[in-house]
C-alpha cells in the first residue's frame, strides 16, 4: 500500500479507503513484534500495541453492530472499556491481528450492502460521548478518526520500544526495496 490513499472519486470508496489505510498503519506498528513486546507499555500511559489492536478491532466491531442495530453492549461499562485496551496473557498478537482482519472484512461487507450513507444509526441516549444523532457516514468518519488517533499512539509506542518508525515498518511489511527515502525495518540481531 502506498504511503497515501490512492485517488478516489466516490464517497463510500473514499471513506473505506482511508479507514483501510489507517488499519494498515496500526498493523504496521505491530509488525515483527513478539507477544511480550506487543504487551509492553513504553510511555507514561498504559497503552500497548497489542492493547491498541484489540481496542480498534472492538471499537470498529461495536460501531458496525450499531449500524446493524444489533448492539447489546453497555456504553457505560467503564471496566469493560478499560479491559478492551489490555492484551491479556492468554491472547496472542497474531490472534488479535486475525480478529482485526475479520472485523475489517465484516465492515467492508456491511458497507457494500448499505444503500444510503445518510441512514440513521441509533445510539444509546444520555451517553455524553455519543452525539445526539448519527448516520452511517458519521460512523465511517468516526472510525477513520478513531483508528488514526490510535495508529499515532501505536507509532509512538513502537518507536519507544525499538526505534522503528512507521515508514520503515511499512516498507518491511510490504517488502519494499531500500531507497534513499526509506530503509525497511529489520529486527535487531541477537548477540551470539
3-state secondary structure at position 120: strand
Alpha helices (H) along the chain:
11-29, 35-39, 49-67, 78-83, 93-113, 136-162, 166-173
Supply the pLDDT for residue 125: 82
Q: Measured between alpha carbons, how far is 184 from 178 in angstroms, rounded to an integer? A: 6
Kindly indicate the confidence band of residue 1, based on its pLDDT and cuts at 50, 70 and 90: low
Q: Measured between alpha carbons, how far is 131 from 11 in angstroms, rounded to an integer? A: 22
Q: Measured between alpha carbons, how far is 12 from 35 in angstroms, rounded to an integer? A: 35
Q: Measured between alpha carbons, how far is 59 from 20 in angstroms, rounded to an integer? A: 15
CATH architecture of 11-173: Up-down Bundle (1.20)
What one-character-per-residue DSSP string does 11-50 give? HHHHHHHHHHHHHHHHHHHTTT--HHHHH---SSSS--HH
Supply the pLDDT for residue 187: 87
Provide the grid cell at 66.
450499531
Digit-coded pLDDT (tens) for 83-111: 999 999 999 999 999 999 999 999 999 99
Q: Measured between alpha carbons, how far is 47 from 151 in angstroms, rounded to an integer? A: 12
Digit-coded pLDDT (tens) for 62-73: 999 999 999 888
Q: Measured between alpha carbons, how far is 153 from 173 in angstroms, rounded to an integer? A: 19
CB 82 within 8 A of CB 55: no
- Per-residue pLDDT at 43 exceeds 60: yes
3-state secondary structure at position 178: coil
- Per-residue pLDDT at 129 exceeds 60: yes
Provide the grid cell at 91.
491472547
Instruction: DSSP letter for 185, please.
Output: -
CB 70 within 8 A of CB 59: no
Supply the pLDDT for residue 128: 81
Q: Measured between alpha carbons, how far is 175 from 185 in angstroms, rounded to an integer? A: 10
Q: What is the pTM of this model?
A: 0.94
Amino acid at each position: 500500500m502506498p504511503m497515501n490513499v490512492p485517488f478516489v472519486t466516490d464517497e463510500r470508496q473514499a471513506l473505506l479507503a482511508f479507514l483501510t489505510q489507517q488499519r494498515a498503519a496500526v498493523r504496521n506498528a505491530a509488525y515483527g513484534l513478539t507477544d511480550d513486546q506487543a504487551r509492553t507499555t513504553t510511555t507514561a500511559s498504559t497503552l500497548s500495541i497489542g492493547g491498541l489492536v484489540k481496542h480498534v478491532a472492538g471499537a470498529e466491531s461495536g460501531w458496525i453492530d450499531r449500524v446493524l442495530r444489533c448492539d447489546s453492549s453497555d456504553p457505560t461499562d467503564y471496566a469493560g472499556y478499560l479491559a478492551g485496551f489490555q492484551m491479556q496473557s492468554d491472547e496472542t498478537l497474531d490472534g488479535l491481528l486475525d480478529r482485526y482482519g475479520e472485523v475489517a472484512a465484516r465492515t467492508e461487507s456491511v458497507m457494500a450492502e448499505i444503500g444510503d450513507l445518510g441512514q440513521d444509526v441509533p445510539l444509546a441516549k444520555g451517553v455524553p460521548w455519543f452525539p445526539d444523532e448519527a448516520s452511517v457516514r458519521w460512523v465511517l468518519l468516526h472510525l477513520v478518526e478513531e483508528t488514526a488517533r490510535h495508529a499515532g499512539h501505536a507509532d509512538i509506542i513502537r518507536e519507544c520500544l525499538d526505534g522503528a518508525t512507521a515508514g520503515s515498518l511499512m516498507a518491511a511489511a510490504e517488502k519494499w526495496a531500500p531507497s534513499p527515502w526509506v530503509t525497511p525495518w529489520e529486527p535487531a540481531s541477537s548477540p551470539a
